[in-house]
Structures are given as C-alpha cells and as structure tokens.
Chain A
Amino acid sequence: MSDAIRFVLDGQTVTVADVAPTMTLLDYLREHAGRRGTKEGCAEGDCGACTVVLGELSPDGSAVDYRAVNSCIRFLPTIDGRELVTVESLRDGDTLHPVQQAIVDAHGSQCGFCTPGFVMSLLALYLATPDAAPTRERVIAALAGNLCRCTGYRPLIDAGCRMHQYPTPARWSAADADRAERVQALLALRRDQGLSLPGFQAPRTLKQLCEALAAQPQALLLAGGTDIGLWVTKLLRDLPPMVYLGDVAELRTIDTDADGRLRIGAAVSHTDAWAAIVARYPMLDELAQRFASPPVRNAGTLCGNLANGSPIGDAMPALIALGATIELHHHSGTTRCLPLDAFYLGYQQKDLAPGEFVAAVYVPAPQPAQRIASYKLSKRIEQDISAVCVGINLTLDADAVIVDARIAFGGMAATPQRAIATEAQLIGQTLSVASFDAAAAALATDFQPLSDLRASSAYRLRAAGNLLRRFALEQTQAATPLRTHALDAGSLDAPA
C-alpha cells in the first residue's frame, strides 16, 4: 500500500501524496508549495541558491539537529519524518531575523538571487553556535557551498560574524529550535514500517531493508542522493524503484569495535563520519573541510562515496591508505568484508555481487609509528573535485626506517588506486626528501593519468610527485613554511 509523505513545515504537518518519488524538494517548494524564495541556480548542489535547513531527529530521538542541505538534488520522499525550514519560515511580520538583518546592514545582497541560500546557510550556523559569534574561519567554512557572483563575499562574511549582535528573535533562535515541541512533532511522524510509495521505499530496519531488496532485486539504493539526484536533474534519467537507506536505524550509527576500529554505517553523513575520523586523525581535517561543501556533506554519506567508487572521489585515497575495510551485506543475510582497495576492480566496476550493498566502513585505529597525510589538488580550494588526491600512511621502525608504506591516489587512474611501485621504492628507506624524490620517479610506472578539464596528464603526474615531496618536507622540516593557507598576510618575517 502507498503512504503519503509527511513532514513538518512552520509548525504544521504537511502531507504530500501522488508525486513522483524523484520530484526534488526544490521543485516541490517552487511549483507546488508556492514558496519561491528558494532558487535554482545549478540543479546539482554546487551553487547553494536552493539551500534549505532540514531538522532531523537524533538517533536517540532526544533532539532535532538542523542542518543546511541542497533542495535541488534532494528527492521529496527523503524528507519524510523531518522538519523543513525555508527562507519563508523566518517571516515574522516586518521583523527580520538576525541573519537577514545582518546581511541587510552589511550590504550583503546585490542581485539577491543567491541571498536566500546564504540566509539558510547562516541560519544553520546561527543555530549551531548558540552561545557566541562564530569565528571568521567558521563563517567562511559554513558558506563554502554558496556561490555569490556579485559581492565578493566580504559583506556576507561580515554578516555571519555579526549576526549574534542582534536581539534574539522570537522565531528560529537556538532556544526556539530546541523547544520540546519540535522533538514531539517529529516523534509523532515516526513510522515503524517506513514510508512506502510507488517506486520508493524507506525501510526503518536492516531486516526491512533486506526484505525490500529481496523483493526488488533491481532496486536502486539511495542514501544522500548527492550523486543520484543529478541522474535525474542533469542526466534526465528514469530511475528504477528506489530503496532509501537514510532511515535504517542500524546504518545510522558510528561505533567502535573490539579492535578499536571505527565502524561507520552506510547512512551516516559525511559531516558526522568525518568528525569521527578527524577526532582520531587530526591531520585529515583539511581533507574533511575541503570535501564538497557543508550542504553536500550534510546530505551525502561516506559509504555512498565509497560505493559510488568514482576515480576522483575524495574519501578513498585517505581511507585506502589507512587500511580501511568495507563491509558488504547481502539481502539474504550473509556479510563479508574486504579491504577497500580490493573493492575497486576497474572504471565503475566493483566487487559487489547482485543483492549486495555496502553496509559500513571500518577505519582502523591510529598506530604509534605512523606518519599520515592527505593532500588534495583542485582548481579552487573550496568545494571542488580533485585533480589529484593522495592519502599517505607510512609505518616507521625504531630507526626511522620505512617498514610499511600505503600510498593511494585519486585522479590518477580509472579507480582510486595504490601506488604499488612507489610504495615498494620507499620500503627500507629513511624518511627523507631524497628517498621520496627517488620514489616519485616510480609514479610513472604506477599511473598513466588522463588529461581532462581538471588537469593534464603531465600536471597530474608531476604534481603527484611533488605532493610526495611535500610530505617528506613536512615530516623532516616542520619549521619551514610549506602551505600557503597557513600563512598570515601580516606574517612577513623571513622564514627561519
């Protein structure tokens, strides 16, 4: 039988029936709900004009987390059981919300088309920083998914830094967002059996998920939809029936197993997954920050990125280097694990049997003698797809000799791939610039990268070698400035 989609909007439960399961949240808002404050700028989750805030019950049902997401690539059924906040939700007579007033006062809108998206990204930040104004860096990070072509961003950054200076609003203050009624409203929408629409099912348990997959072997597994959404909005594809992972309780958790490994379930967002990984591997913070943008990280899942297996996906190089393991379930109930790098067989080919799905990824615990880094090269620092991405994990012995090397690259081959010949060159060497320069020569054996819009083959190969050199420099000459972003404009003292 078919249900109707239910979600909370401005304190009311909205029920929507009889829509195609691939209708985007943006189309729903603009064409059906008459809420045209939310704009379409790109329909691929890259410009942020469509940003809305979604409230989701925490797994324990005690609180609602509000996060910015892109409505343009979000299928409407996936907001079932959630609270939707749009720019219209901030309306309080003629009184502007602090986020809005701060933008007006900073002269932060020119053409105004991107502005509602900026308002919503800043609203999510406002709600997440109830006690004090966020740092400038945090504001910039929160806006990484919002493009503005008019202002140069300075006034928008200023608005984010100043929004806490305004009186607390009646609606959508942090306290208002924390009200128990909001939790109650979402608890009331909880389902035992999960949403079921023609062409769309949202199981609540692993068992229901397996049943759904057994019943529909050709079904498409949908998690964050940050790629599959584009199959509809960009490639104009008809999709097979979808089974949505986002509500499966067992897949929404992050646990630590007996070996100290992190187990990150298939429905865990990048935001949560990377927070857990960076807590253990602080050196991966830059990679986490530069992974897509906040709205994409809030929607997309780490396991979805791994299962997608794009040769330019940013999660794989670091996780392969760390020795991550992927856990595959079959709907019949069997499970198997394999090293992440073994999962990728060729371009868009994976070691995934019919009926199998990625259920989790295991990230090993840090070891004492490891030296780890990850670097990403792209045209733009924020929200860009890698030309080259590398994860490096060395193990040293007591004499500082390299006894194990795991170096994985993205952007260099048809799959995310280890640099086997390069690794072999390093084993037995000491950690020095010379040994890495020598080993880098083997990259040409490991890879014959493509030339495309992101970079030429020659640049990829050369830069990949230079990233290994950067690693060696960082490990051996820590006092020397090696990264542009770590410099302050004012710090012009000559390097030591």
Chain B
Amino acid sequence: MSVIREADALPTAELAGRALRHESAHLHVTGRAQYADDIPLPAGTLHAAFGLSRVAHARIRQLDLSAVLAAPGVVAVGLPSDIPGENNYGSVVHDDPIFTDTLVQFAGQPMFAVAANTHLQARRAAVLARVDYDELPAILDVRSALAAQSFVIPSKTLRRGDPQAALVRAPRRMQGTLSIGGQDHFYLEGQIAVAIPQEDGAMLIHSSTQHPTEVQHIVAAALKLRAHDVIVQCRRMGGGFGGKESQPALIAAAAAVLARKTGRPVKLRLDRDVDMLATGKRHDMIADYDVGYDDDGRICALSVMLAARCGYSADLSGPVNDRAICHVDNAYFLEHVEIVSHRCKTHTVSNTAFRGFGGPQGMMVIEAVIDDIARRLQRDPLDVRRANFYGAAPRNITPYGQSVDGNVLDTLSERLLSSSGYRERRAAIAQWNAGSATIKRGIALTPVKFGISFNATHYNQAGALIHIYNDGTVMLNHGGTEMGQGLYTKVAQVVATELGLPLSAIRVTAADTSKVPNTSATAASSGSDLNGKAAQAAAQTLRLRLVEWAATAFDVPAGAIRFDNGVVWLGERALPFAKLVAQAYMARISLSATGYYRTPAIHWDGTALRGRPFFYYAYGAAVSEVAVDTLTGESQLQRVDILHDVGRSLNPALDIGQIEGGFLQGAGWLTTEELWWNARGELKTHAPATYKIPTAYDWPREAHVHLLQQQPNGEDTIYRSKAVGEPPLMLAMSVFHAIRDAVAACAAPGRNVPLQAPATAEAVLAAIEQLRAVETAP
C-alpha cells in the first residue's frame, strides 16, 4: 500500500497502516465472539425486565404490583425505595431517574424492574402492573415546546459580526425552514448488563457500554458505594453508535439495584421493543433560517433558529446541541452569523448521543440553505457550495473562532468532481429528465468538515496499561471500548509497531475500570486518537526501559538497538523478543507500564461559545446519484462516489468499513428511517418490522469509495492519522440533496424544494406535489 511507503515516520514494524482484518473477525464468523448475553453466569442468576409507563405525562396515583409479584418465577421487584443511594442515571444534570417515582414523563419510562428465574418470566410479569395515572397535558413536539417555552436547559446563542444589519444589506434575502428527523441507533445487540455481587459489598458489572467509567460511577452512586467498590467490564458491544454512551448506566444501575436487593446475580437484557421505547435516540430538530446572499450565491449573513427535541431530561442534550451549533458552518465561511439553539423539553424519551452528536443536524441546515440559494439563482448547487468554502484568511475562521487549518476540501472536491464525472453526469441527467416524465434523476456533491475532539475539553484524555509477560507475550488494555469500529485492532497495531512485534503477540483485553481508571466515553470519533496515543506512550516506556537495560547488559549503544518483527537487534546480534524479555525479567526489570495522553492545544468556553474545541478537522465529500419515481415518491440510490480524508490511515480496511457503514447509516437516517409517534405520544416504530434501517439492497449498485491519499494529519496525532468514526455519516447528505435535485426537476427552475428529512416516499411525493401546485397556481 502506498500509505505504508509514504509512512516515513513509522517505526520499523510498519504494522500500523496495513489493511489488517478485525482482531475478532474469526470469532465473529464462527459465533465464538462473546457478548454480554453470552457470558456464562453463576448459578442462581436472576433475569430482569423493566415495567414501563404507558402514558406520556402523568402523576402516578397508585402503582399496584401485586400481580407482578404473584407471577410465576418472580423473586423481587426493584422500586425507587430499593435504591440505597441516588435514583439517577443522568451524568450531566441529575434529572434521569432509574425508576421514576411519582411523575411519568414519557410513554415507555421505566417505573420498576422485576427479577425472575427466567427472562420470559420477568417479561411476562413486568406487564402485569396496575397503574392508576393522573394524566397531565403532554408536550410532544418541538413546535409545541417552543410555543410553551419548554426547555430542558437554557437556550444558547452564537453570534459573530452583525448578522441583522448584514441581512438587511445583502443583495438578496430569503427565509426557509427545514425539519430533520431523529434516528434510532438500532445496534443489533440490545442494551444489556449483568450485575454480580462480590465479597464485601462490591459489585462486578458486565455492561455493553461505550462508557464503563460512567457506568461505574452511576452504579456506585445508586448503591451508595464508592468507585473502587464497582468494577465494570466490556469486551465488545454488538454496535453502539452513541446509543451506549449514557444509556447503559440505566440498565446497569437497575440490574445492580436488583442484585443488591436479592444478593444474587441479575441480568437485565432489554428486548428490542423495550430498548427502542425506553432509550434515547438522535435528536430531531427544526431550523428556521434567514439568509442574505449575493448574486454568486455567497452568503453575506445567516440567522438560524435551531430547536431540538431533547425529550424529558437533559441527558447529553447540552453538548449535542453545542456540537450542532459548531457544525452549522460545515465547510463554509459565515462572516455574519447568528445561531440560536433551543433545547426543547418534551414528554418523549430523552434523546441522546448518536454518531455525529448534533453535528449532522447542524450541517443539514447549512446544506439546505445553500441548496435553496442555488435553486433561487438557478445555479448548480455545487458551484454555490464551492463559492462558500472556507478559504485563506480572513475567510478561514469558524463562527466560534477556531481557524480552519489544513483544509483539504478544495483539493478533495476537485478530485472527486473529476473522478466521479460530476459535470458530465449532471448534463446527462438534465437531458434524461427533459425526456422522462415519470422517473427523475438527481445528483449532488456535498462536503463534510467535522471537528475532532470532545467539545468538553476534560474528556480529551486517555490511559492504557501494557504488561509484557516473561514469555514475551503482551497484554494490552486501554480505556477505549470496542463496538465494531476496529479500535482494538488499531491500538494493537500501534503497540505491535512500537514494540516491533507481530500482531499475534498482542492480546487486547476487555475495557475494565479496574485496569484503566477515569476513562472517557469511546465517542466523538476519538477512540484511536486518544487510546492509540496512550498505548503508544505505554509501549514506548517499556521499550525505553528494555533498551536502557539491554544497552548495559549487552554492552551496545542504545541507538543500535532495534525492535523488529519479534526480534531485538542488539547491533548485529539478533535476540528473539521473548528471550530478551525473559532475561530482563531475571534482571528484575519492570515489564508493566501505564500510558497516558491528553490532547494538546484545545480549549473551549462553553458560555461564550468561543475557543478551539477541536484538535483538527476531518474532511470528506460524496457524490450521490438517485432516481425518483414521481408517481410514488420512491427513490433509489444509483451510485455513490466518496473521497474521504483519514490522514495517514492506521488501517485502510477498517477505515473504508467505517466510511461505507457510516454513509449507509446516514442514508437510512435521511430516507427510510422514520420515527413515528401517535397523538398520545406513544412511539409506534419500536421494532424492525416498523422501523426500517437500510438492507443490502440499499447499498448502491455502483460505488467508488476511496481514501484521500498522502494527506498526513497536520497535527501530531497517532502516526498522523485522523478519526473516522462519525464524519462519514454526514456524507449521506449527498443522498438527500440528490433527491432534492430530482424533485426540483419536476418543476420549472428557480424554486426551492420543500423536502423535509427523512425523505420517505411520502415526503418526496409531498414535496413534488407542493412544487407542482405552486407551478399550476394562478
């Protein structure tokens, strides 16, 4: 791979940068990979289930659990009164009860949990509760919440320049609105935790979690224990996507409360419906905008009101909406800008982290604004996009004051434009559309610029622990969690590279709060940036220790000692790594080390909304082409071309996997994945029969997915790579805008396309009919 040839900074083994298979691939395909539900349990383990509220907003007059307790196999129920410590799993604002006490705030809220001898017994018992509700008026959507000024946390405003004056001054001005749907994570493995009581009051938790440390602290607070009394482990998740950042604490805490009460191990595995009803999703948002622009489509001023449905509690809605604010610019320079962000409280499930973390919604706003400008001006939206790209100073400062350095979007979009044949295809599509009344085609190129680092500066730290055993094998542990993204593979590649070992010498072990403490969530795409660097530090400590000892022991200069592919070169003399290690052990050299990393150079003022929250930006762009059936509104993605910047890739195969998977997940968000609540606030799309994520058929028949080659990260990241977890999701905006393009072809040019997300067949047909209605109106 050319990636490796170019990798002059790489240490000898060069394992980093190779397209190696996922470290668990052989376990995945044979069914031997162990998930939390597969761990053999101690005899006497109980199985739990939540009892959920059925109304959106009510006082609980009476909760009668006699039928629950009398049901076959039931051993205990868990109620707020069974929680010795704090009845809360909210990490930021403590407003998330584990079991709600007197007030129900959404349909599907856990009121209690029941433990029984089998999972089925627990589920059957849980639905037998008799609840006497005193129903209260419920606020169910964003517009109602705005009207009622119902917020979970205060609104924030980011302002730069003088947007109101600039709007008035601008040669052209337009207002518009966009609604952006939410999204269920639909990780294939539902939420699960197993709580196993230990001696002396301690608790061991197996949790499917992106955030073991948070689970540890919340379980400890609920049980009135201290952090060192709770151990949380997670070897792997069956998918996370942000859904297992804050939500697993609820599951683990409920299991722990029941384990504490019964003195027996308790497994709480949510079935799919309960998982979808009771745990948070991507925030749906609405945006009203007012934009001033010139005849070239350049934005002179932009004012945006962005309102998010947060649900009943704060959860991570603060940082999610902060990131939304910080991504309204996407790839574009906004000189005079005002973004008002409302965090609406509704009587629906509390929305949470989801891949992109507010960024996608913010970026959808500006892409719609630009598309609307281009339609008005009858210009190719791509040209308007490029006219607004960040450029040289002073057009390189984000609304929050960070300078956009190392911007590759001009190069990247030019290459993609050419490799995808965008111009030729646009012309051919126009010709097609002129001759096709029923099927309209559309094409769009949309860019992605995504900020990498947690906005909250203190999360940007990580630890690792490496043991070298005296047979030369290595145990690697770090605070990051494996949810399928390949983090464990990448970090193992780093350690193997640093120690000059084959990958097989490294065993990566479960994330474990008793090995590496005070970890951050594996989130914000930061997993390999943070943990890779921490593990590198630990490996370098060990290597240095071995070198210093060997230089003396073998009387060679330290500079002449190299580690390569399981062999240590002491000048001309070669010694197997295992032999060297065995001798080092005999010489009483410590073979265990921790490593620590904190991201440099970042700072953020969350009140003023100013600073450098992001260490760097990841970039990408995609060209999507769709066909739309104007009779039914059905759309089909025909082709996609993607060029994405991962810096110097740690593992091109894993990175391509993240890009393709993120893209299709984003495409699902913007097309078929529709969350639908009835008038009583009950979510009716709570299983795959009703909630439709993409299938194999939805992957386009023609796809060209490539990494932007030879673009090492300008910042000193792990081997100059870039994060890849979230950014590719937003490449799917090209699908939405290709559909808009096809819909636009249904009417004369010059009109905005009133298409909302998700672009279901119904939404597309509605947009087409609205456009045509304008056309035929007198």
Contact = CB atoms under 8 A, between A and B. Distances in A.
B664 A37 contact: no
Given A379-B672, A494-B431, A463 B695 contact: no
Nearest to A34: B40
Contacts of A37: 30-32
B605 interface: no
Interface centre among B30, B188, B636, B639 (most CB of A within 10 A): B188
A452 B26 contact: no
Interface in B671-704: 672, 674, 676, 684-685, 687-690, 692-703
A452 to B, nearest CB: 7
A110 B658 CA distance: 9
Interface stretch (A75-83, A153-161, A199-207, A397-405): A153-161
B188 A453 contact: no
A153 B436 contact: no
B743 interface: no
B32 to A, nearest CB: 7
25 contacts: A39-B189, A41-B189, A44-B689, A49-B188, A86-B31, A87-B31, A100-B29, A100-B30, A107-B656, A110-B661, A112-B25, A113-B484, A119-B29, A149-B661, A153-B694, A154-B703, A157-B696, A379-B692, A379-B761, A382-B697, A455-B762, A484-B636, A489-B702, A492-B425, A494-B436
Given A107-B21, A111-B187, A379-B761, A149 B693 contact: yes
B131 interface: no
Interface stretch (A138-146, A182-190, A261-269, A408-416): A138-146
Interface in A369-417: 377-385, 387
Contacts of B425: 492
B124 interface: yes
B765 A463 contact: yes
B426 to A, nearest CB: 10
A484 B439 contact: yes
Nearest to B427: A492
A368 interface: no
Interface in B631-684: 631-636, 638-639, 653-654, 656-657, 660-665, 672, 674, 676, 684
Nearest to B760: A379
Contact of A377 (B190, B272, B634): B634
Interface stretch (A215-223, A303-311, A316-324, A467-475): A467-475
B273 interface: yes
Nearest to B629: A484
Q: 7 smallest A-B Cβ distances: which pairs?
A: A37-B31, A111-B484, A113-B238, A112-B28, A110-B484, A152-B660, A46-B688
Contacts of B664: 152-153
Given A109-B25, A380-B692, 4 more contacts: A42-B688, A111-B240, A157-B699, A487-B636
A288 interface: no
B435 A484 contact: no
A107 B654 contact: yes
A88 B761 contact: no
A484 B31 contact: no
A111 B693 CA distance: 17
A87 B30 contact: yes
A485 B21 CA distance: 34
Nearest to A109: B28
Contacts of A139: 696
B585 interface: no
A103 B432 CA distance: 38
B22 A110 contact: yes
Contacts of B761: 377, 379, 387, 459, 463
Nearest to A104: B25
A473 B438 contact: yes
B237 A495 contact: no
Contacts of A41: 188-190, 272, 688
Contact of B188 (A39, A462, A492): A39
Nearest to B32: A37
A114 interface: yes
A410 to B, nearest CB: 15
A213 interface: no
B29 A111 contact: no
Given A41-B189, A143-B695, A151 B31 contact: no
Interface centre among A111, A119, A136, A484 (most CB of B within 10 A): A111
A43 B272 contact: yes
B695 A114 contact: no
A147 B634 CA distance: 21
B627 interface: yes
Given A107-B22, A494-B428, A487 B638 contact: yes
A455 B33 CA distance: 40
Contacts of B271: 43
Interface string B232-254: 00001111110000000000000
Nearest to B630: A466
B696 A146 contact: yes
Given A143-B696, A147-B693, A156-B696, A115 B703 contact: no
Interface in B33-69: 33-35, 37-38
B429 interface: yes
A104 B439 contact: no
B27 interface: yes
Contacts of A481: 436, 438-439
A107 B657 contact: yes
Contacts of A384: 692
